[in-house]
Amino acid sequence: MPPFIPDLPQLSDLLVNLTILGGGLAAAYKFRVLDVLAHRYRSEVWCTSTPVGDAEPGRFLFVGNFVIHNTGDRPLKVTRVRLSLQKPLVDDTIIDSERTTEVVAREFGSDAGTSWFQIRAGERSIFPLRVYLDELSGPLIFQCDFRWKHRGQPSEFAWLYDPRLPMTWWSEPTPGLPDAYDPSAKTTGPLAREA
């Protein structure tokens, strides 16, 4: 009988313990360093405007969409989304975004009982602001803000829209994810039926 066979149970116990310890360290690394349990999102804003037509000359339709993509593994529970369109004060060549006049605001609340406010992993919700404007002569600020039930609140975002451009689109980059718009993502929310 080989001399190492009596030590085989002790050796196998050591290997099992090392395997369990290695698995625990790998799980701790994945959860802590990769922040698996964090609520991650990517927000996107796009705006456009168009003349209403010959029926109402001088009127414009402004369309602004605020999109929240869930890029994490856990669902996002959004409680409120507030969108507002503001006209900034323009002094010569300086656009003062601190001094603005609110043109219109729209607020979405989760008490409406819709599924827009529960964004599952890999999905997105689109929150629109559509408004008729009597004039569209200068820049506008599209302000987007949302709140959720999780720890730490996301910061609000203001987008400067210039009506001389046909469409403006912005996506907040998320480290490790592509910046490009992903049409394959599942959509929930007010615009899901329009696609």
187 and 117 in a single domain? The answer is yes
For residue range 95-117, list pLDDT tens digits in order.
877 788 888 999 988 665 566 68
Based on the fold, state whether residues 47 and 27 are members of the same structural domain: no
Residues 30 and 45 in one domain: no
Question: 122-153, pLDDT tens digit by residue?
Answer: 899 999 999 988 888 788 889 999 988 887 78
Instruction: Mark whether 79 and 151 lie in a shared domain.
Output: yes
**In this structure, are 153 and 117 located in the same domain?**
yes
Q: Which of 8-12, 39-43, 103-107, 162-166 has the highest mean pLDDT?
A: 103-107
pLDDT tops 70 at residue 22: yes
Residues 190 and 94 in one domain: yes
What is the average per-residue pLDDT within 35-50? 80
Query: Do residues 68 and 135 share a domain?
Result: yes
Selected residue with higher pLDDT from 176 and 45: 45
% of the chain with per-residue pLDDT over 90: 13
Residue 144 confidence (pLDDT): 92
59-68, 90-99, 126-135: lowest mean pLDDT where? 90-99
3-class DSSP assignment, residue 182: coil
- Higher-confidence residue of 183 and 94: namely 94
Helices (H) and strands (E) in the chain, counts: 1, 10
How sure is the predictor about 190, in pLDDT bands with cuts at 50, 70 and 90? very low
Distances (CA, A) of 187 to 87, 121, 126, 180, 191: 30, 11, 8, 16, 8
Task: Provide the number of structural domains found in the chain.
Answer: 2
CB 107 within 8 A of CB 84: no
Q: Please indicate, yes or no, whether residues 85 and 18 belong to a single structural domain of this protein.
A: no
Domain containing 183 equals 41-194
> 79 with 102: CB under 8 angstroms?
no
Q: Are residues 54 and 138 in the same domain?
A: yes
Cβ atoms 143, 81 nearer than 8 A = no
If one counts every other C-beta atom within 10 angstroms of the C-beta of residue 126, the result is: 19
Q: 114 CB contacts (<8 Å, ≥6 apart)?
A: none
The pair of three-digit structure tokens given for residue 12, joined into one six-digit string: 């196998």
Determine the pLDDT at residue 166: 56
Check residue 117 and give its pLDDT: 83
pLDDT number for residue 32: 64
